[in-house]
Amino acid sequence: MEFSAEMIAGLLGGSIVGDKNATVHTVSSIEGGKKGALTYLSNPKYEQYIYTTEASIVLVGNDFEPKQEVAATLIKLPDVGAAVLKLLEMYNAMKPQKKGISKMASISEKATVAEDCYVGDFTVIEAGAVIEAGAKIYPQVYVGDGVKIGAGTTLYPGVKIYEGCRVGANCIIHAGAVIGADGFGFLPKPDGTFDKIPQLGNVIIEDNVEIGANTCIDRAKTDSTIIRKGVKLDNLIQIGHNVEVGENTVSSAQTGIAGSSKVGQNCFLGGQVGIADHVTIGNRVMIGSQSGLDKYVPDGETRLGSPALPGMTFHRSFAVFKNLPDLQKRVAALEKEIKK
């Protein structure tokens, strides 16, 4: 479908600078924009591209004043970020929706699948599983015995959900994620071998959670591993058994949280964060990328580095650390003078 600048401005409540009849049929980045594309400028450091982009329409802030000629039609808005989000949501909603239950899916007679669900080819849904209204189960998904999938939830290709796990409403689980595999539990024996500790619990994922591709969330040894509502997990994250992640916490890729640790609400974990077992992280905690934590962190704190330190302590320590080569030379020179 094509949209004119006039239509977009009317929808978003913006004002047009340029050709109101300019049309677009796709979206792009400002640096990669081509004719027929809609793009946006929300970060001033990308302003240089607005003068060279081939995009037909660019969304800009009300306060934007070009320093040279702009070929594209501009739509001025009070909040570019909010406007872009609204358009992307509309564009996504207009895409064709998957429907129907594939004849090549294997669905147990003892499973319950709502009539308006989508179930793709070669999906397996075991006995006692419940798939609620509006769920979308893409090809090659495995849903184990007694699993419950909430209304409106989407499981992308290759997701595996082991027996007894619970996934809430309006969740998104991306391709290759594994929910409910055994926690890493082994008991050392005197002869140096190990006995496997049975993992008898499950995983509970509450509503409005998004889980990235190839992320693994282990089932609890007993009770449940819990991902609270609104949590957003990036790709390639490992969450150990009996972990609890609090509401609306966000984690970037390659984070690892060891067994029985608790992460509070509204926390932010940067990429490659490592949290040791049995550690408690408070609410509203910010953890920088590649930080390693093995101790309790109170509410509202920031941690950086490995082992992680409070924000200002880390910066002061790093200021000293980066000067160590020069300090070493100065000490060596002083020692030489003392010997003389």
Out of 174, 241, 278, 315, which one is annotated catalytic?
241
Compute the distance between CA of residue 127 and CA of residue 281 in angstroms, rounded to an integer. Answer: 38
**Residue 278: active-site member:** no
Cα angle for residues 175, 176, 178 (degrees, 5° grid): 125
The backbone region for 80, taken as left when phi is positive above 0, alpha when psi lies in -120 to 50, beta otherwise, is: alpha
- Give CA–CA dist 244/226, Å, rounded: 5
Residue with tokens 């997990």: 233
Q: Do 71 and 50 form a contact (C-beta atoms < 8 A)? A: no
Q: What are the residue numbers of the active site? A: 241
